[in-house]
Amino acid sequence: MAYDLLIKGGIVVDGTGAARFAADVGIVQGRIVEVGKSLGAARRVLDATDLVVAPGFVDPHTHYDAQICWDPQITSSSWHGVTSVVLGSCGVGVAPCKPADREVTAADLTNLEAIPADVLHAGVTWDWESFPSYMQAAAQRGCAINLGFLAPLTPFRHWAMGRQSLERAATPQETQQIAQALREALEAGALGMSTSVSNIDIGYEGKPLACRMASRTELAAYCRVLRDLGKGVIQLNLADRPADMSPGEYETLEFLLKESQRPVSWISLFDRDDIPEGAMRTLDKFEPLIRRGGVPQISCRPLFLELNLRSPLLFITLPCVQESIFNRPLEAQKKLYADPSFRQRLRAEIERSGMHVHAFRNLDRIAVQLVNNPALTGLLGRDLADIARERGRTDGLELMLDLSLEDDLEMRFVVALLNNNRQRVGRLVSDSRALIALSDGGAHVDQICDAGYCTYLLGTWVREQGVMSLEHGVKRITSEPADFFGIKGRGRIAAGYAADLAIFDPATVGSDERGKMRNDLPGGARRLVMEARGVHHTVVGGVPVYEHGQYTGALPGQVLRS
Position 356 scores a pLDDT of 66
Which tens digit of pLDDT belongs to each residue from 100-125? 999 999 999 998 888 999 999 999 99
**Do the Cβ atoms of 330 and 309 come closer than 8 Å?**
no
Q: What is the pLDDT of residue 312?
A: 87
90: DSSP letter: G
Query: What is the per-residue pLDDT across 280-302, written as a single tens digit (0 to 9) for each?
Result: 999 999 999 999 999 999 999 99
Distance CA 384, CA 398 (A): 11
Asked whether the predicted pLDDT for residue 85 surpasses 70, the reply is yes
- Tell me the mean pLDDT in the region 298-312: 90
DSSP run (H or E) holding 234: strand 233-237
- Residues of the chain with pLDDT > 70, as a percent, come to 99
Mean pLDDT taken over the chain = 95
- Residues 352-384 pLDDT 10s: 877 666 667 788 889 998 899 999 999 998 999
pLDDT-derived band at 530, boundaries 50, 70, 90: very high
> From CA 378, how far away is CA 533, in angstroms rounded?
30
Reference 236, options 205, 215, 206, 263; nearest CA is 263
Task: Report the pLDDT value the prediction gives residue 135, as an integer from 0 to 100.
Answer: 98
Phi first, then psi, for residue 196 (nearest 5°) are -140, 145
Q: What is the mean pLDDT of residues 79-104?
A: 97
For the stretch 123-154, pLDDT in tens is 999 999 999 999 999 999 999 999 999 999 99
Residue 505 pLDDT greater than 90, yes or no: yes
pLDDT band at residue 520 under the 50/70/90 scheme: very high
Out of 13-17, 352-356, 495-499, least confident range: 352-356
- Helix, strand, coil tally for the chain in percent (to 5): 40, 20, 40
- Checking if the pLDDT of 1 tops 80, the result is no
Ordered by start, the domain boundaries in the chain are 57-303+419-486, 306-416
**What is the C-alpha to C-alpha distance for residues 306 and 118, in angstroms, rounded to an integer?**
20
Quote the pLDDT of residue 305. 80
Identify the CATH assignment for 57-303+419-486 out of 3.30.1330.20, 3.30.70.100, 3.30.70.120, 3.20.20.140: 3.20.20.140
What's the CA gap between 179 and 170, in Å, rounded? Answer: 11
Residue 517: what pLDDT? 87
Average pLDDT over every residue of 467-482 = 98
For 343-409, the DSSP string reads: HHHHHHHHHHHSTTHHHHT-GGGEEEEE--SGGGGGGTT-BHHHHHHHHT---HHHHHHHHHHHTTT
Looking only at the bridges linking them, the beta strands covering 412-418 and 303-307 are: antiparallel
Q: What is the model's pLDDT at position 507?
A: 98
| pLDDT at 509 exceeding the cut of 90 | yes
- Which range (199-203, 292-296, 538-542) has the least confidence? 199-203
* Helices within 268-361 (DSSP H only): 278-291, 319-324, 330-338, 340-353, 357-360
* Residue 434: pLDDT over 70: yes
Please tell me the predicted confidence (pLDDT) of residue 240. 82
| Amino acid symbol at 518 | R
How large is the angle between the packed helices 396-406 and 340-353, nearest 10 degrees? 130
Q: What is the mean pLDDT of residues 250-256?
A: 98
Tell me the helices (H) and strands (E) count for the chain, helix number first: 18, 25
Least confident of 280-294, 302-316, 535-549: 302-316
Q: Is the pLDDT of residue 341 over 80?
A: yes
Judge contact between 254 and 289, C-beta under 8 A: yes
Phi, then psi, of 194 in degrees rounded to 5? -130, 150
Residue 314: the pLDDT is 80
pLDDT of 307 higher than 80: yes
Q: b/e string for 106-122 if b means 16 or more Cβ within 10 A?
A: bbbbbbbbbbbeebbee
